[in-house]
Structure 1
Amino acid sequence: MITVDGLVAVPSLNLAYLAGSDGGTRPVTWAHACDLPDPWRWFKNGDLVMTTGGGLPAHAADQADWMTRLIDSGVSGLVLARTEQAPEVTHELLETAERRNFPVLKASYNLQFVTLARTVIESAVETERERLATIKRLYDIYWQSLRARGTFSTRLSALESSIGWALEVRDVDTGETLARGQEASRRRQPDVLPPADTAEQRVPLPSVGNVMLSARPGRRPVQDRVLLQHLGGLIGLELEHHAAHRDHLRASGRDLLLGLLDGTINLSAVWPELRHRGMNSGIVIACWKAADDLPLNHDHIHHDSRLQHCAPLLAPRHPVLLGLVPDQPDLLTALAVKLADRCTVGVSTPLAASTDVAEAARQAQLAAARAQESDGHRLLRYGADENTGLLPGSLEDTRQLVRRVLGPLISYDRDSGGDLIRTVRTFLANDGAWQHSAQELGIHRQTLVYRLRQVEQLTNLKATSTKGSALLWLALQAADSARLSLKGLTH
């Protein structure tokens, strides 16, 4: 597209700078003649304003204000072909333009504005013709790169070579670079968000998440935003396809993980699938849990830019999210931050092909619960704090404690249709308040007394004593933290 400097270089137009020559690289998209006193109301970005000066105010201060308002409208420049009746152009007007690097050109009154406009229009038509040819060439290059099964960065490099810009695709929310061409890599340190630069042009990409395409000058300046938007649309198509593929992987991964958890699928059978998903070694079960069992924002977590190189198996089990994931603490912690404000993640011991995945999931759930109880632990590995706290340090220790203390009550409730476990839980939760506990259970106070006597007979633990209440409470808390189902446990 022709620039202000390009118009000055056309001999037949006989244009010369009065001010603002440093702004001569501004592209000119159209040219209009206007002698109205408020031309900024009628023009848009890229337009060249041509005037005989009839709309200029007479006083210097008013001319400076007039020029400021015209510059702020975003036009590319001003061409003055004064008539003898027009006010003289003041030093203040030119000084304002010079300070803002805004081109002000002098033209002979004999210049026909239609000639200047035709030059701009012919340039715009030729520019559009060249743009269409460039777009076709870029599409051909991009699809050839896709067929060659190159990487995302390889395709950006191919586009850079053709268009002469340095290109990169960036996640705005995390600041992480998703892909970068060779020219952009040469100009930057890896994974560092660049400072603001007026030479940089950005366009949002139509994809899942807040992603943008950034272009900086390479062999050529970035002046054609329309072409950049075409590039954004082209790259956005690939990101949309990639997002749809990740949705499919999320759905199939959920089914696989649920099968592993319920024992209908063996981990050894899906080991090759895990490699295809980018998890070649060092995998664990992770459990994400929010404070107070608040909901987790997990619907689009598989689109997080940090997961672009792998596709973990994820399955929500309210109120937690379970995942078969790479053993990468930084990644797991970053996902926890994104899932909820006060979200912790528990991590199982490393998995092998023969690992019982359901057991590993219980390890992760216990670790997540213990992380919630600790101060400052966003991530906790199973067994890492087994010697701290009141609750058992391992899953097997938890089972043994629950069986020993609550086993007789579990068996009684199952065999007789009783409600002793709920009775004990309610009584302890109300700090031994008889009447309040009876009301919450919907029974008479004497019925509550009778039930607790049964508890004592079955367990030799008195719920009203310090030792009895402590052991019963500890067993219940351990079962809840490990998310153990009491129905399957007996003494």
Structure 2
Amino acid sequence: MLTVQDLLAIDVLKLRAIAGLTGTGRTITWAHAVDLPDPWRWVSPGDLVMTTCGGIPFDADEQVSWLEQLVQSNASALVVAPRDDAPELSDLMLDAADRLLFPILRGSFELEFVKLSHYVIESVLQAQRERFNASERLFQTYAEALRKEPDMAGRLSILASTLDLSLSIEDAVSGAAIVDSATAYKTAPERLERIPIGGRTRAHLVMARKGERTQSDPILVRSLVGLLGVELERLMIQRDLQRDEGSALLRSLLANETEFSLARPILAQRGLAGTLVSVAIKPGINGPWAADELHQAPVFHRASPLLLSDNYLLIALCHDDNEIFDALRGCLGQSTAIGVSGPIATATGFRESVRQARLALMQAQELDAGVLRYGEAETGLIMAPKSLAEARALVGRYLGPLIEHDRTQRAALLATLMAFLENDGNWKATALDLDIHRQTLVYRLKLVEQLTGIKPTTTQGIARYWIAIQAGKNTELFDDTP
């Protein structure tokens, strides 16, 4: 785009600046010839105002007032080519132009405004062509990226490479990177540009140029931000659908409409394989993310827990991972309380794990603990379970980790423990019954202790394990286990 300084550099026009030299960097967007006494009513921001001075008043104070009103219209500059009967521009007016940083250029009366307008208009049209070409190139590159790359990071890398930019998308709340391109320049933080991306994305486009700005940059950035906004919104819609599907699955599991063992393949497709737990969450206040938009938090983009809103609580199904629990509290607020169940086992069922998580949550709130696992605050031992629910609770608390470990690792820890107790803690007899080396038995029982936190060779441990095993046998919770 043409600037006032560029116009002065065109020798054929023979223009010279007589005031407002510090404002010659202004951009000219159009040219307008006017000799009316009120040109500000007819010009637009960025216009180069050309006059033969017919409308300029003779009085010096009135000239200053006339100039101030013209400046308020955001014109780019004033070109005067005075005719013979035109008033002289007063020193007061020229001083005002210097004060207002508004360029006044002078040419001869013979200056053809049509020729001057031609230069301005051609510059504007050329800038528009460059912007159009840049925008067209951006959309062509984006279309090519859609064909070549299945993920957004790959497409952003193609855009960055083609446009000779370093691009990334960051979360506007935490500043964490959501998507990074492979192209990265060592740029000082003050040279980075952060452009908000519209919509509900709560994200910024972070951009660094390798070279200098060009005339096509503004339209290019707007187009790029628009494209990325659509892409991010599409990903958000996908995550909304995934959350709805996860909530439906949790409701089905809670209602016993779906067996947990049958749901495992679906969970594995969502990245939820291995040892899983149920989590009961009481969201805090003033967290950066509300409970109903938690799945959109960047920390859960790769693998989000299954989430279900239930009477002002959140029920989640996720991996047993302290980092996940810390992330939940970080997103929902540090006053968030979380109760974590024991490992979900087929024998005890999903509903039992939710009961454990709810109980752990209540205890966490009573103890003012941020995160509490089921059984960490001991509530006593049920000596004789009076219902299937109590039996499930016993089995889940003391044997659940062993059952889950056996299922995932194809091990035999529960069978080993049962054999050890049936042989009254006799190591040699147990090893013979299981047809294993004594050292293997030692290893297995140590693993039992690590998984449950209870030592199977103590009186207390033997009592707890024995009661849980009997509860499981009597209610046929693991009738296939010898």
The residue aligned with 1:421 is: none
CA offsets, 1:278-332, max 9 Å, x none? 557775433222479xxx9433332233332223311111121112235323321
Counterpart of 2:118, as a letter, is R
Confirm or deny: 8 A CA contact 1:287 1:321 kept in the other structure: yes
The residue aligned with 1:85 is: 87
Question: What SS does the aligned partner of 1:260 have?
Answer: helix
Pick aligned residue for 2:307 from 303, 314, 327: 314
The 2-side partners of 1:264 and 1:320 are apart by 22
Question: What SS does the aligned partner of 2:337 have?
Answer: strand
Question: What SS does the aligned partner of 2:292 have?
Answer: coil
The residue aligned with 2:331 is: 335
Confirm or deny: 8 A CA contact 1:166 1:184 kept in the other structure: yes
Counterpart of 2:136, as a letter, is K
CA offsets, 1:71-113, max 9 Å, x none? 66554x2133152414335453243245xxx655444443333
Name the count of aligned residue pairs. Answer: 376
TM-score by length of 1: 0.62
Counterpart of 1:306, as a letter, is V
The 2-side partners of 1:235 and 1:333 are apart by 29
Confirm or deny: 8 A CA contact 2:81 2:109 kept in the other structure: yes
The residue aligned with 1:381 is: 372
The residue aligned with 2:161 is: 161
Say which is worse superposed, 303-312 or 314-323, in terms of deviation: 303-312
The 1-side partners of 2:104 and 2:384 are apart by 87
Counterpart of 2:314, as a letter, is L
The 1-side partners of 2:253 and 2:261 are apart by 10
The 2-side partners of 1:66 and 1:403 are apart by 96
| Structure 1 unaligned blocks of 5 or more | 189-193, 387-392, 408-491
Q: 1:19-98 to 2 correspondence within 5 Å?
A: 26-34=26-34, 43-52=43-52, 54-55=55-56, 59=60, 63=64, 74-75=74-75, 77-83=76-82, 84-88=86-90, 90=93, 92-98=95-101
The 2-side partners of 1:324 and 1:291 are apart by 19
Q: 1:361 to 1:210 in 2, by over 3 A?
A: same
Cα deviation, residue 239, structure 1: 1.7
> Superposition RMSD on alpha carbons, in Å?
4.2
Confirm or deny: 8 A CA contact 1:19 1:97 kept in the other structure: no
The 1-side partners of 2:351 and 2:172 are apart by 37
Say which is worse superposed, 124-133 or 165-174, in terms of deviation: 165-174
The 2-side partners of 1:352 and 1:20 are apart by 81
Counterpart of 1:211, as a letter, is A
Give yes or no for the alignment of 1:252 onto 2:245.
yes
TM-score by length of 2: 0.63
Q: 1:152 to 1:344 in 2, by over 3 A?
A: same
Q: 1:72 to 1:177 in 2, by over 3 A?
A: farther
Confirm or deny: 8 A CA contact 1:171 1:178 kept in the other structure: yes
Question: What SS does the aligned partner of 1:186 have?
Answer: coil
Confirm or deny: 8 A CA contact 2:169 2:178 kept in the other structure: yes
Confirm or deny: 8 A CA contact 1:201 1:222 kept in the other structure: no
CA offsets, 1:49-88, max 9 Å, x none? 444554479547983x87677666554x213315241433
Confirm or deny: 8 A CA contact 2:278 2:341 kept in the other structure: yes
Cα deviation, residue 144, structure 1: 1.8
The 1-side partners of 2:297 and 2:263 are apart by 24
Q: 1:222-301 to 2 correspondence within 5 Å?
A: 223=215, 224-267=217-260, 269-271=262-264, 273-274=266-267, 276-278=269-271, 284-290=277-283, 297-301=290-294
Give yes or no for the alignment of 1:132 onto 2:132.
yes
CA offsets, 1:4-53, max 9 Å, x none? 44433433333344566666555432222345666556555443344455
| Structure 2 unaligned blocks of 5 or more | 391-482
Larger Rg: 1 or 2? 2
